[in-house]
Amino acid sequence: MSSTPASTPPPSSTPEGYNNPSNSSNLYLFTFLATLFVLLLISSTIIFRSYILRRRYQQRLQEALASGAILAPRSPGSHRKRFRTRPKFYNAWLESGGDSWDEMMPVSVQPVKSKRRRKQAVAAEAPAHRSAFDRVKRAFNFDRPGFDREPSSPPPDPTTPPPPSDNEKVSPVPPGMLQVAVLVSMPSPNRDQPISDEGEIPEVVFGVTRLHYRPEPSPPLV
């Protein structure tokens, strides 16, 4: 029997830098830096675009306000400028008459009462407390022997008003403020002429205001 030796495969030649770990780490670093640069570029582009759009919108808004137009909100995806119509102003007029209370009858008139201050209330209550204190003091002084009391006049009643003099003038309403309520006919854009007696009743609202009032002096008594 003849035996033949087994042939061994020749060793394969591999490049020297294939299994070098430094090359793979450099590749990973380059990929990371490239990705980071792309993300920064995209974010800076978005920020710059929003800044430009905001500046353009502010400029268009200022131009619209200067020209008297109102800038309408733009629909998504639309690049056309849209402006709303300018509001219309209707003329209003005053009819003849209504200059006196006889021609313009108010619905209600009532005086506005001023609030009483706290100092005035305390000043009104002080005589009552003082008179009670004087009565208690006189009672204790009366029990002491050898004490001569001086005659004192009775304190005036704080609730009793002083009698009015003849020179004073009494008026039903004191001078001050009056709250007046009137009916106001509101203007309508569909009506170009004054309202007639047989026409449709317009929109009517209540108008309330406060006016200064001073009573006229009464004629002297003969």
Summarised one tens digit per residue, pLDDT across range 156-203 is: 555 555 555 544 444 455 567 888 888 887 777 666 666 565 667 778
User: Tens digit of pLDDT for each residue in 85-123?
Assistant: 666 666 555 555 655 656 677 888 888 876 655 555 555
- Nearest CA to 104 out of 218, 214, 210, 207 is that of 207
Q: Which of the 8 DSSP states describes residue 161?
A: P
CA–CA distance from 73 to each of 49, 56, 62, 77, 88 (Å)? 19, 14, 15, 12, 21
71 pLDDT exceeds 80? no
Predicted structure pTM score: 0.30
Q: What share of the chain is helix, strand, coil (3-state, %, to 5)?
A: 35, 15, 55
